[in-house]
Amino acid sequence: MCGIIGYTGTDGAVGDVLLTGLEGLEYRGYDSAGVAIADESLAVHKREGEVAALEAALPDTGLGGTAGIGHTRWSTHGPPTDANAHPHTDCAESVAVVHNGIIENYQTLRADLEAGGHEFTSETDTEVIPHLIETALATGASPEAAFREAVSQLEGSYAVAAVFPGSETVYAARHESPLVLGIGDDGHYLASDVPAFIEYTDRVVYLEDGQFARVNPSGIVVTDAQGAVVETAVEQIAWDPEDAGKAGYDHYMLKEINEQPQALRQCLRERVSELDGTVTIDELAALEPTGPVQFVACGTSYHAALYGARFLRAQGVPAQCFLASEYTVDQLPVGEETLVVGVTQSGETADTMSALRAANRVGATTLALTNTVGSSAARECDHVMYIRAGPEISVAATKTFASQQVALAMLAATLAGETPTALCERLRALPDQVQQVLDMSNARAVAEAYEASDAYFFIGRGYNAPVALEGALKMKEITYKHAEGFAAGELKHGPLALVGEQTPVFAMVTGDASASKTLGNIKEVEARDAPVVAVTDSPAVVGQYADHVLEVPSAGPRLTPVLANVQLQLVAYWVANRLGRSIDKPRNLAKSVTVE
C-alpha cells in the first residue's frame, strides 16, 4: 500500500523525478499525493485525489531544490483529504516525512507528544514521526541522529523517508515494508518499487529490515541499526522502461491481458523439455522436500495456490492451501519436514510475509513463488521460484495469475519427481493457445449483453473451481458489481436462492470427468430463468445449453482452465469499460498490500 519516491541530485530534476515516480507508483495507492522539496526551507505540496490533482496544484515556477520526497497514499488512518496526505511535517517545519505501513503504537506516541505541546493537523499515524524527530532535534541531535531516534520508537511496519531544510540528503529506513535504492549517473533514488525510477536507472540496492539509508548526490550509504556501514550488492533490473508503459492500449489491464502469451513463454523458458518430457527448475535444484506442502497466499494469488494445491495432490503430493491471514503455525502440523510455499506477486504482501516468517520460526522449509526479484519473500525464504511475468501495473492481476498457474504446474512436476510427456507438450503449446483466445474472443459482445445485470455468478469444478473464484474477483474489482464464484456443486446448497433472470451464470465446462455434472448445474440455473455463459472447449456439446459461448482450445483437463480464465478477464474488462470504471485504479484497492 502507498508509494514512496525520493531523489537527490545536482541536475535540477528533482520535481520531474518525483512526479514521474509518483505516476509510476500510483498503482500502489491513489487517494492522495504529495511532495516535499528541501532547499533553504521546505516546500510541501499535497492534494486529495490522484497524482494529476497534485500536478495541477503545483506552482508555475516548478520545483527547485536538490533533494525531495513524494508519496501516493492508500488510506488507513483517516480519509483521503489534503490534511491527511503525505508528506507530514512537525510544528517548526524542520523535517518532512513520508511513510508506508502502520505505526501500531502511534496513539501512545501521539498522546505523549501532545502532552509535550506538539500540535497535530492530521488523523494519520504517520504524523507522529516528524514530531518525534523535532523532539530529538531540540536536544541538539543531528538530522541523522534525530531520524534514527524517532525510528527506534516505532512499533509496527514501516518504510520511512525524510528530508530536512538546508540539506541535500534523504534519510530512509525500513521494517517489514519495502524500500529499494536506485543508483543513477546524475543522482540517486529511493522508492517502494522499481517502476518509480526504472526510466532513469536499472541499478538497484534492496534495503533489508532494520537497515537505514543515507542518500545524497555523491552516493548511497547503508547502515545497520547501530550505525555501522553495511556492504550492499548492486543488482541490475532486467526490465525495459517501455515494459511499464501502456504501449498504445487504453488501460494497463488490457495491455497486460494481451501480454500473457509472452509472459507464459518467459515463465516456461529453459524449464520445460518436450524431447525428454522433463521439467527442470534450476533455482530449485537444492530443494529436497520430504513432507507435505502448505500454500499461503491472499487474493488472486490464493486462487492460484488453490489451483496449485490440486495439481500437487493429483501428482501424489499431500498439499493444503491457506489464506495467509488465517495461517497459524501453533494450530497446524508444521515442522521441519513441511514445505511452506508463499504465493505472492509482489513478494511484499504483509499477510503472506507474516505467514512465511512464522513458518521459518518453527523450522519449516519455505519457498517464495513470486514475480519480484529482490523482494522480501525472495530474500527471506529458503528457496525462490520466479514466475517471470514482467512488470504488472494494473491493480487487477491478470498476467501474473496465468504465470502463477503455469509456474505451479511446473512446481508440482518438480516436487512429484516426474512429468508426463503430454503435460510438457501442453505447457509448451499454452502460450499460442492463449494468443488464439485473445485473437478470437467474443467476450466484448458478452459484456455488452450483460453489463446491466444485477450480479454475476461463476461456477466450475475441479481445476475450474479456483478459476471461478478468480473470475468473480476480477468482476468485483473493476466493475464494482456484485459477483460470486463457487464450486459448481455448491450452487444448489444456498446460493441458488439468489439466481434469477438478472443474474448471468458463467459456467466453466471443460473436457474432464466432471463436465457432465457441471452441465447438470447449468440446467438448474436455466430452470430459474438465469442466462448462462459457457466457457468451454466443447462448444458443439455445451453450446446447446447456453445463451452465449466463450470458446477455448483444449489443453487437457488441468491446463484448459488457464485459457478459460483469459476469457473471464476479458469479460470483466469490457463490462468495466462500458460502465466507465477506473479500470487500472479501482476504488479502495491497491496493488501491493503491505499492511495486515
**N residues, the chain:** 596
Active site residues: 2, 591
- Cβ neighbours of residue 522 under 8 Å, at least 6 residues apart? 505, 507, 509, 532, 534, 545, 546
C-alpha distance from residue 188 to each of 97, 373, 509, 592 (Å): 18, 20, 53, 24
Residues 6+ apart with CB under 8 A from 581: 478, 479, 480
| Nearest Cα residue to 346 out of 73, 7, 590 | 590
Q: Which of 547, 561, 436 is nearest to 511 (CA)?
A: 561
**Residue 382: CB atoms within 10 Å:** 16
In order of 90, 355, 359, 495, 506, the CA distances from 350 in angstroms are: 29, 9, 14, 32, 32
What DSSP assignment string belongs to 118-160? ----SS-STTHHHHHHHHHHTTT--HHHHHHHHHHT--EEEEE
3-state helix, strand, coil in the chain (%, to 5): 40, 20, 40
Q: Which three cell numbers stand for residue 446?
A: 458478452
DSSP 208-254: PTT-EEEEETTEEEEE-TTS-B-----EE----GGGGS-TT-SSHHH
3-state class (DSSP) for residue 418: coil
Distance of CA 455 to the CA centre of its chain: 26
- DSSP SS3 for 484: strand
The residues, ordered by sequence, that sit 6+ positions from 252 with a Cβ below 8 Å of its Cβ are 27, 246, 392, 393, 394, 584
Q: Are 27 and 586 in contact (CB under 8 A)?
A: no
DSSP state of 373: T
Q: What is the CA radius of gyration of the chain?
A: 25
- Cα–Cα distance, 147 to 133 (Å, whole number): 6
